[in-house]
Structure 1
Amino acid sequence: MTASVPEFAPVAAPQRVAALDALRGLALLGILLSNVSGFAGPLLELHDGIDPALRGADRAWATFVYVAINDKAWSLFALLFGMGFATMLARAQAAARGFVAVYLRRSLGLLAIGLIHAWLIWAGDILVTYALCAFALLALRKLSAQTWLALGGALYAAGIGWMLLIAAALTVPGVAVGGPQDLAAAQAERAAEVAAYAHGDYAAATAQRLWFFFDFVVSGWTLMLPLTLGLFLIGAGLARSGVLADPQRQRERLRAMLAWGLAVGAALTAASVALTATPSTAVFTARSMLAQTLHLAAGLPLALAAIAAIVSWLHAGARWPLRFAAAGRMALSHYLTQSLVATWLMYGYGLGQWGRWSYSTLILAALALFVAQMAFSTWWLRRFRFGPLEWLWRAFTYARWPPLRVERAAG
């Protein structure tokens, strides 16, 4: 009698890694808070730090988001993407099923969703970058966990090193500060964003999104692709080493991740803010470039510390992180919903609230939206196995419709 081979298929809820879902939910909240200023203001100013014009509660919220969340949330999400890849690869190997075709379809599906998001909904998309790096991740699937970690660290360090070289080059007299024409061009680009999004119709907003994608996102891939792939590989290496599956055996590594991650991340963030809390991207200077580089570099150690903390707390019996797990299981659906809701509220072709809400109001609205998403996730997943977009994505990935409704026990 021949033993049956387990089928490689969408993972059932009881088999999911709770820590991964909880961390994904927390990262999703951080990404939403990071994106608030990009929903209600020019994307070209998204990395300009704390607006010096803000006062009172607005400044307090902006400071908190910039110091504690910006560059940390997306770094955490990228690490989790790599962890998900390693988990999926391990399941495929355990099931003795082919992985390449499935993951290629998965990545193509993510690329399609990302392009729809970037071109038709919100220009601040990260999914296209993730999808492109996913193809590279697939090509590196046969490497060991230690090689993943080493290569990931090298790629991430190369990206940070490139930014440091740019900062050094900007110390050369005449290079650091552009002329009046450069500043005027930057101001015109920002004014075009405001005109398209705040006052334009859907066609004007879409044209602006396409311009931003091909002029800024594509050119930014020279930095973002190695950084993102580096984070993917680090996350994959950590997952394969057993950080999620066996935290008891990995407790020393988790303690080191927490202690060193907090220390190094806090030091880099403090140094960045000490240089300037308002690094301008309109016209780069050595100071603003160095501040942005240090701030970005702080994202990895602090994201590693967050992973270590949540995994350790869950292993010790803490339950509160699991409240974010349902939202984490529906992260793709919620990510696109956040963009749809925010652009409908803010843009001229929606309710036209661009520029009418204070920063505090934007943050409180974002928190209210996320609380609603958490509640909806719990309600939805009691009835269905996947989020709506996750279900469609899995159907494309596995070339068949997976069961959607949760089967209830009879009697």
Structure 2
Amino acid sequence: MAAVQGTGATAPPPLPARPSAADGPVESSRRLQALDVVRGVALLGIFLMNIEWFSRPLQAMGTGIDPGATGPDRAVAWAVYVFVQGKFWVLFSLLFGMGFAVMSARGGSGPAFRGRYLRRCAALLAFGVLHAILLWSGDILHAYAIAGLMLLALDGIDRRVWPWLGAGLYSMLALFVLAGGALLSALPEAGATFAALADEVDADAAAATAALAHGGWWQATAQRAHDFLGVALQGLMLLLPMALGVFMLGAWLLRSGRMDDPRAQRGWFARLAAWTLPAGAVLMALSLAVGTHFDGMREAGPMLLANGLAMLASLPLALGYLSLLMLGLGTRALARPLAWLAPAGRMALTHYLLQSLVASTLFYGYGFGLWGQVGRAGQVLLVLVVFALQVAMSHWWLARFRFGPMEWLWRWLTYGTRPPMRVRAAAG
């Protein structure tokens, strides 16, 4: 392992080694702390991105920055749009693929492992559907569950081709969106067909706003179910293959050993950052040049052009963010501060659902009814406060319990036996 040079100071203790092959949930002492740290950062990015859509209808997704944002709200909205949106779901997807690789390394590829993994995905699918209907229709867990099953089906493919196949699958879908935007921009008569749908989409958005901003819980729940079926599920044709591609990249990264020891891999991650961050920045700049707000289907061509370029940018930028985090974990100055995020990463499922509970209670009409009353700057401040509380709560909780509440339930459903919850029970 590479030592820290130049000062003679003692290097921080090494991160835990790769989990052993024992069956059952991974003990905290055998977890790869780097994964938990990255997961904690990704959790923050996901919340920064998602909170906007507790105060805007899902029908507006893809149209860019809210045109009503001005001053500090617009500056913050621009920063989240450029640096966060689309990048952190990719980062989280890389981690999902890494989790698959950890589980398959510990459980092998036989019927027992496949049965456990099928139960794991089935439980996640149930969590996602319930989350979408009861809290927020923009759920991504259901997509992860389905794409996870597709990943299992591809596990027999030579793992040396996984990074190329994964990157190619993601890029192919992004290029498909880009090509569609170019075609609609070049053929005004084709764009007119999409523009005819604009009034219908606008009506759906107005109905969603009325139900979520002013309706009671039952009305909001009916609207969430409608949006889940009418917006979220329709996007699966694009989202599933993209997520699958990123899962394959993540699984390859974990199996390559790059995530085991950040200090030993600093050179590799520095080279990865040097390639991915400039490439992603150029693609994102091209997307911004096309535009940052579009009138929905009335501007379908340029909207798809901008979104396609942003999708192409998101994968290299997410890999660049991962590289920067791994480089930080490989230094004395940043390893310990970043390690504070690891407990939140260990409770990512619990916190993801808790974020939706907090946001829906604050913004929806059956709660505090703040829909449309908190600008983007205020939303980001709220995210930072809630996330800080989640990090503190994670430290308190995991000092007493082995898993977060939802992680405990997920493991119970996956392995078929109830794991001990309290730390002292596990030690005894």
Q: Work out whether the TM-score is over 0.5.
A: yes
- Alignment map for 1:265-280 (pairs within 5 Å): 265-280=280-295
- Alignment map for 1:290-305 (pairs within 5 Å): 290-305=305-320
Match of 1:328 among 345, 348, 364: 345
Structure 1 unaligned regions, length at least 5: none
Match of 2:407 in 1: 390
Deviations 1:204-257 (A, max 9, x none): 212211211222222211111110100111111111111101446644432232
Aligned-pair CA distance for 1:185: 1.3
Match of 2:165 in 1: 151
Farther off after superposition, 203-212 or 227-236:
203-212
Deviations 1:56-79 (A, max 9, x none): 211111111001100011010001
Structure 2 unaligned regions, length at least 5: 1-19
- Alignment map for 1:127-142 (pairs within 5 Å): 127-142=141-156
- Cα distance in 2 for partners of 1:93, 1:407 equals 30
TM-score normalised according to structure 2 size = 0.90
Deviations 1:17-58 (A, max 9, x none): 111000001001001000121011111223322223322211
- Alignment map for 1:28-177 (pairs within 5 Å): 28-93=43-108, 98-170=112-184, 171-177=186-192
- Cα distance in 2 for partners of 1:289, 1:208 equals 26
Farther off after superposition, 251-260 or 224-233:
251-260
CA contact (8 A) 1:8 1:97 kept: no
- Alignment map for 1:364-403 (pairs within 5 Å): 364-403=381-420
Look up the SS of the partner of 1:54 in the other structure: coil
Does 2:326 correspond to 1:308? no
Match of 1:230 in 2: 245
- Cα distance in 2 for partners of 1:30, 1:385 equals 25
Aligned-pair CA distance for 1:326: 0.8
Instruction: Report the count of equivalent residues.
Output: 405
Match of 2:30 in 1: 15
Q: Which runs of 4+ in 1 moved over 6 A?
A: none
Distance 1:403 1:289, change over 3 A: same
Distance 1:132 1:408, change over 3 A: closer
Matched to 1:349, the amino acid is Y
Aligned-pair CA distance for 1:308: 1.4
Give % identity: 44
Match of 1:27 among 36, 42, 55: 42
Deviations 1:127-156 (A, max 9, x none): 000000010111122334322212212211
Farther off after superposition, 58-67 or 317-326:
317-326
CA contact (8 A) 1:177 1:285 kept: no
- Cα distance in 2 for partners of 1:23, 1:249 equals 17
TM-score normalised according to structure 1 size = 0.94
Distance 1:357 1:241, change over 3 A: same
CA contact (8 A) 1:43 1:124 kept: yes
CA contact (8 A) 2:263 2:329 kept: no
CA contact (8 A) 1:145 1:238 kept: no
